[in-house]
Chain A
Amino acid sequence: MSDHSKSSPLKTYFSVWVALLAGTFLTYKAAFIELGRFNAAVALIIATIKALLVALFFMHLKGAHERLLKLVVISTIFFLFILIVLSMADYGTRTWS
């Protein structure tokens, strides 16, 4: 670990932990409120924020300097995007189903 971990990271870890628990509680509560089609959107937005918090602070992507590592992470997200968005663009626009 490089210099940024020298100043105690404990505060960050515990704040992220509290935020993740709050996010879980919020997802759970929001699911029982009628929001129409926005229920799914709210759930996925909270999940993505939680996933980002874990990746940036717990998996230490924030503060990673290696370019190769960034390349791997970005291309992973890119290929996942292709997989899901292109598939859904197909199935979502089939008028006969």
Chain B
Amino acid sequence: MSDSTVLGLHHEEEHHPELLHHFVDAQQQRDASSLGMWIFLATEVMFFGGLFCSYLIYRRWYFGDFGAASKSIDATLGATNTAVLICSSLTVVLAIWAAQTARRTLLIGTLILTMLFGLAFLGIKGKEYKDKFDEHHVPGASFSFDHVPVPGHPDQYANPRHAEIFFALYFIMTGLHALHMIVGLGVFSWLLYMAWKGHFTPEYHTPLEIGGLYWHFVDIVWIYLFPLLYLIDRHP
């Protein structure tokens, strides 16, 4: 009994308000949160992995048709979006650094910048989707992809049914990615609110790190989506 009293007292003395009682110390709590996030990211890798795998199978089968369909997407918009996401990843690490070094203005500024980059990404994505709707490249009843030559074979037209599979994969993969971006924006508005309230200190800023891991993961998915969807067989 005396043991537990001593432990309790000891605990009481250096108890950080954010330290939950079932953790030994702040480091253990932080490691546990980070490990949990990485396990979640592992499930996300498998989730996107299945889509990438089906993409690879169809791309092997219908390479020419995929090339023709990929060429109809604006690669410059895709490259711009890649750069936008990379910049947002930089502002995320800067936000964590700002919290570690107790720079409140920088922390709030970089969090707002991250969200602005995220919104810019979604805006550019929306423009791209609008173009695809205008061109009737959305799989479904009004889909049309007639008389589009296969890259490298000007005398040969792409099979519209095969191109439709490319566009289905394009919309599912970029759509799920965009959904992750929207969730990320939600997470970051909450982080911004917490930062505004002054919850993050050099000792405690785990939510920033966890939210950052998620944001970087979504960035990595895009790093693969960009060349795979936008840059098939582009050369003249």
Q: Is the CB of B216 within 8 A of A54?
A: yes
Interface residues of B (CB under 8 A from A): 31, 34-35, 38-39, 41-42, 45-46, 49-50, 52-53, 56-57, 60-61, 75, 79, 82-83, 86-87, 89-90, 92-94, 97, 100, 209, 212-213, 216-217, 219-220, 223-224, 226-228, 231-236
In the bound assembly, the distance between CA atoms of A14 and B61 in angstroms comes to 41
**Bound complex: CA A87 to CA B53 (Å):** 8
Tally chain A residues at the interface, Cβ within 8 Å. Answer: 49
Contacts of A66 in B (CB 8 A): 31, 34-35
Q: Known contacts A54-B223, A72-B39; can you find 20 more A-B pairs with CB under 8 A?
A: A5-B100, A13-B93, A17-B87, A21-B83, A24-B86, A28-B75, A31-B75, A31-B231, A32-B236, A47-B227, A54-B89, A60-B209, A66-B31, A66-B35, A76-B42, A80-B45, A83-B46, A84-B49, A88-B57, A97-B61
B193 CB to closest chain A CB (Å) equals 23
Taking CB atoms, residues of chain A closer than 8 Å to B45 are 76, 80
Q: Are B46 and A39 in contact (CB-based, < 8 A)?
A: no
Q: Please tell me if the beta carbons of A39 and B38 are within 8 angstroms of each other in the complex.
A: no
Please report the number of residue pairs spanning A and B whose Cβ atoms sit closer than 8 angstroms: 130
Chain A contact residues, CB within 8 Å of chain B: 1, 5, 9-10, 13-14, 16-17, 20-21, 24-25, 27-28, 31-35, 39-40, 43-44, 46-47, 50-51, 54-55, 57-60, 66, 68-69, 72-73, 75-76, 79-80, 83-84, 87-88, 91-92, 97
- Residue of chain A at shortest CB distance from B152: A34
- Whether B100 contacts A54 by the Cβ 8 Å rule is no
Knowing A24-B79, A27-B226, A54-B219, say if A33 contacts B35 (CB, 8 Å).
no
Residues of B within 8 Å of A1, CB to CB, are 100
Are A46 and B227 in contact, CB atoms less than 8 angstroms apart? yes
Contact B82 A58 (CB under 8 A): no
List the 10 closest A-B pairs by CB distance, nearest first. Answer: A43-B227, A31-B231, A76-B42, A31-B234, A17-B90, A34-B235, A20-B86, A28-B79, A51-B220, A24-B82
Identify which of A14, A59, A60, A80 contacts B49 (C-beta below 8 A): A80
Roughly how many angstroms separate A75 CA and B39 CA in the complex, as a whole number?
Answer: 10
Bound Cα distance A53, B134 (Å): 37
Q: How far is the CA of A69 from the CA of B34 in the complex (A)?
A: 8
The residue among A20, A75, A91 with the most chain B CB atoms within 10 A of its own CB is: A20
Given contacts A24-B82, A24-B86, A83-B50, contact A68 B216 (CB under 8 A): no
30 cross-chain CB contacts under 8 A: A10-B94, A10-B97, A17-B86, A17-B89, A31-B234, A31-B235, A32-B236, A34-B235, A39-B234, A43-B227, A46-B227, A51-B224, A54-B89, A54-B219, A55-B220, A58-B90, A58-B212, A59-B217, A68-B35, A69-B31, A69-B34, A72-B39, A76-B42, A79-B42, A84-B52, A87-B56, A88-B57, A91-B61, A92-B60, A97-B61
